[in-house]
Structure 1
Amino acid sequence: MDEDTLSKLERLGKLREQGVITPEEFDQQKAAVLNNTHPQPQAPRPAIQTTPQPAPAIQYIDPPKTSVWKWIGIGFVGLLVISFIGQMGRNQQSLSETSASTESTMITDSLQASSVETPTETKPAEKWFYFDNSDKMGSKYYIATIDANEQLQFDFPYNGGSTASFSIRKKGASTDVYLKVSKGQFITHSSDGGTARIRFDDGKPITYSTSGAADYSSDIIFFDNEKAIIAKLKKAKKIVIEAPFYNEGNQQMEFDVAGFKWNH
């Protein structure tokens, strides 16, 4: 096959690719060139070759529907990837926040645990009342007094509660320990006085001699052996005093004496 024949065939192939000639025309022209029997193209044919034809637009025809679905599929896959990446980011953020919250809670618990103080024994509130004064002669005196935890309940003629007060008084060289009630009468004997018992904490009751007031007041009795009573009071937390009352018999009075201080 000579070069002229090859050149003609190549030219026919380009014309077919460009859409200038149809495949049937290409086959006819090809056969004519090979057989050398087909007459040369008519004069108008070259004009067709040189005149711009709308045929090249065939190269830009709309892609087939399968291409559209392909792009839709690619877009859908892309959305899934983006969604997955976003979800991973949110999960990571949530994990970070949870970790931070857990760490914060642990730190708070640790701080709270470290701030908890070891319970200490609570000291009972002192019920003693202290005061000092001077009489009209200029003599200094000191008094410590405390009321009973509960009132005494007396019948007629006193009707109602009676408050018992236990006191220590220092005046000059004299120290007195006495028990006084707001209502009622102690039983004392004019000759030898009487007796009353005091129990310090859980110890055994101790019997002490008592005496009445110099003015014969029946609402007060004085205890003997004052120094021994004061020494025990300084160590005691609670005392119970039992004393006899007119028409009421022996009555018991409880006092919370913890914290007693006496340096006179």
Structure 2
Amino acid sequence: MAKLVNCKNCGGFIAKNADSCPSCGARVNRTSVLTWIAVVFIGFMVLSALMAGMSDNPSPGVADNSSAGEVSNNIAETDATQLNEVTEVQAVPNWMYGESVDKMRDTTTYTAITTSRNNVHLSSPYSGGTDLSIIIRHTDELNNEVLFVTNNGQLWCEYRNCTMTVKFDDNSIEQYSLSRAAGGSSEAMFLDGSEELFINKLKDSKIMMLEIGFYNNGNQQFTFDTAELDWQY
């Protein structure tokens, strides 16, 4: 019995080797043997081209050693350059100096500033770290002044006994008198009457510890790197 297939035109049954459909008369188109051979040959050529292309290019996940070596060398050279740049940067000095000119009065103000290397944490409502700065200031009118300024909180002392405690290097503890800022600012206090002595001891010291009072937070201690103070006034 001949094998039956469906007619593509009417859907009726037709013998597989028939030339036309007995129901609708539609001609049956068959792919010749030569056509099949041509398709197989073209497919083989395409597959060969793909395989050749894959052999020329490294597979994903397989690194090209020469390229990787160049990249590694570039990274190493970049890192070395950056490291050299960092090591060549000078260390931040302990003291920062300033000079301002009042052209109207023809006067010059000189300053030297250092900030504590530690900070303290005060109780609410103050948040974040609190540090302390020492400012030495010279004008022709007032000569040398020494200020203590905080970036957070309020400096405080008793009216009749306004002092701070200081220790230079490994020397004995000393006390110095303070006075409040004339403008009423609670962020700054002035050394009262011992400016020259204090500045000279700063110039001779490397480390200084200072204890000063803060409103509602008691005495707080700060450490300063005081070496190499250059003050000629």
Q: TM-score range by the shorter chain?
A: 0.5 to 0.7
- Consecutive unaligned residues of structure 1, counting only runs of 5 or more, are 1-123
1:219 corresponds to: 187
Among 163, 171, 174, the residue aligned to 2:131: 163
Shift of 1:164: 1.1
1:238 corresponds to: 207
1:130 corresponds to: 97
Q: 1:245 and 1:187, CA in 2 relative to 1: closer, same or farther beyond 3 A? A: same
Counterparts of residues 150-189 of structure 1 (less than 5 Å)? 150-174=118-142, 175-189=144-158
- More strand by percentage: 2
- Consecutive unaligned residues of structure 2, counting only runs of 5 or more, are 1-90
Secondary structure in structure 1 of the residue aligned to 2:198? helix
- More helix by percentage: 1
Shift of 1:127: 1.3
Q: After superposition, give the CA deviation of every residue in 1:36-88 in whole Å (9 maximum; x if it has no partner).
A: xxxxxxxxxxxxxxxxxxxxxxxxxxxxxxxxxxxxxxxxxxxxxxxxxxxxx
What is the distance in 1 between the residues matched to 2:146 and 2:112?
10
Q: 1:176 and 1:142, CA in 2 relative to 1: closer, same or farther beyond 3 A? A: same
Read off the aligned partner of 2:152 and give its amino acid letter: K
Shift of 1:163: 2.3
4+ residue runs of structure 1 moved beyond 3 angstroms?
135-138
Under a length normalisation based on structure 1, what TM-score does the superposition of the two structures give? Answer: 0.51
What is the distance in 1 between the residues matched to 2:157 and 2:209?
19
> % of aligned pairs identical?
33
What is the distance in 1 between the residues matched to 2:152 and 2:167?
23
Under a length normalisation based on structure 2, what TM-score does the superposition of the two structures give? Answer: 0.57
Shift of 1:144: 0.2
Q: What RMSD over aligned residues (CA atoms) do the two structures have, in Å?
A: 1.9
Q: Does structure 2 retain, via aligned residues, the 8 Å contact 1:152–1:164?
A: no
Q: After superposition, give the CA deviation of every residue in 1:125-180 in whole Å (9 maximum; x if it has no partner).
A: 63100011123533211000001001121121111112211110001142111110
